Amino acid sequence: MSGAADGRPIVIIGTGEGRCVLETCRDLGLAVAGFLDTRRPAGEIVNDCPVLGGEALLDDPAFVAAHRFAPSVGEGGRRLAYAARVERLGGGLATLVHPSNRVSLYAEIGAGSILLGKSVVNPNASLGRCVLVDWDCTIGHDDRLGDGVFLAPGCHLGGRVVCEAECFLGLGAIVVPDVRIGARSVVGAGSTVTRDLPADVVALGNPAKVVKRRERAA
């Protein structure tokens, strides 16, 4: 599941959450070539790891073929867009599961997903592509996390929860069993979701209530 059988070094996209991903790679004993980050100059050293350049390198077929990629930015849509660029040139995604996680043999983890550590993924849960699970989370039995979902540290999901594509759950969010959260919706830190939420909303509180709609980019 860590992708260790593929010996190509990993390129981490983004240096924010990417620094946490770097530590996961090191704990897994995986070689990391460096970061891609358009906000930093090529050659800068971040936590003893070089910035190789910006995202323009994702258009270089030779560069893409020589590496595996770990899109690590917070926004799920951007992670999926980076993954699509890599795969368009035949490149591969790194699926990274820190050894401190407890993942059921009957759970499914999609390509490019990253589990940072000390989380539990219960039986028959399914994580889509490029899902990012931060530290100390619980994913219940039979949960379905769509492509590009992000769980901040300390999120806990009951059984049979559905988080549609690109949902973002803030620090310490709780979702009770049998709830569905619509695509691209955001649940605020410390909120408890007790009923279904539609797509493209922001919900806060205990119980969580919709406070505004999110405008989708044109």
Q: Is 67 a catalytic residue?
A: no
Q: Is the dihedral of CA 47, 48, 49, 52 positive or negative?
A: positive
Buried b (16+ CB within 10 A) or exposed e, 25-45: beebebebbbbbbeeeeeeee
Q: Which of 102, 63, 53, 78 is nearest to 184 (CA)?
A: 78
Binding residue per annotation — 76? no
Chain mean position to CA 114:
5
Instruction: Number of helices (H) and strands (E) in the chain: give both, helices first.
Output: 3, 25
| Structure token pair of residue 100 | 């401190």
State which amino acid sits at residue 195. Answer: R
Contact 31, 10 (CB under 8 A): yes
Distance CA 206, CA 56 (A): 43
Instruction: List the catalytic residue out of 67, 98, 141, 156.
Output: 141
Task: Give the residue numbers of the binding site.
Answer: 74
Residues with catalytic annotation? 141
Annotated binding site for substrate: 74
